[in-house]
Amino acid sequence: MKLYVLPPSPRALKVIALKNHLGLDCEMQVVDLGKDEHRTAEFTALNPNQKMPVLVDEGFGVSVFFLKNHTLRAVPTIET
Ligand SMILES: N[C@@H](CCC(=O)N[C@@H](CS)C(=O)NCC(=O)O)C(=O)O
């Protein structure tokens, strides 16, 4: 798994905290919004909304908002 984040963002920090809490083995990739790295073709292919955080699992990219609603039902209070 690979997590695309910009750590100073509270949305990123919440997701990183959850990753650590769950003990997920996950590579992290910084997405520098100041350099428009979220607007590249590669990132847009992962999330057409061009927003981080994004989690990629087995080549499938999902926004963490999607993940919260569809995968992490065990932790329903997380806001991204
Ligand atoms: N939870 C939502 C929102 C995430 C969000 O708003 N991320 C902001 C940073 S905190 C972002 O990437 N903004 C870039 C932009 O809007 O250009 C999602 O995952 O789609």
Taking the centre of ligand 1 as the mean of its atom positions, its distance from the CA of residue 48, in whole angstroms, is: 11
Cα–ligand 1 centroid distance for 51 (angstroms)? 4
pTM listed for this prediction:
0.79
pLDDT given for residue 61 in this prediction: 62
In this model, does residue 77 exceed pLDDT 90? no
Nearest residue (CA) to ligand 1, atom 14? 51
pLDDT grade for 22, boundaries at 50, 70 and 90:
confident
Can you tell me which atom of ligand 1 is nearest the CA of 10?
A: 10
Residue nearest atom 8 in ligand 1 by C-alpha distance = 51
How far is the centre of ligand 1, averaged over its atoms, from the C-alpha of 5 (Å)? 10
For the cut 90, the answer to whether the pLDDT of residue 52 exceeds it is: yes
Give how far Cα 30 sits from Cα of 7, 49, 66, Å: 7, 17, 20
> What's residue 1's pLDDT?
85
Own/partner pairs for 68-76, CB < 8 Å, 24+ apart?
72/18, 75/18
Confidence of residue 76 (pLDDT cuts 50, 70, 90): very low
Q: Which domains does the chain have, with CATH numbers?
A: 2-74 (3.40.30.10)
Residue 23 has pLDDT above 70, yes or no: yes
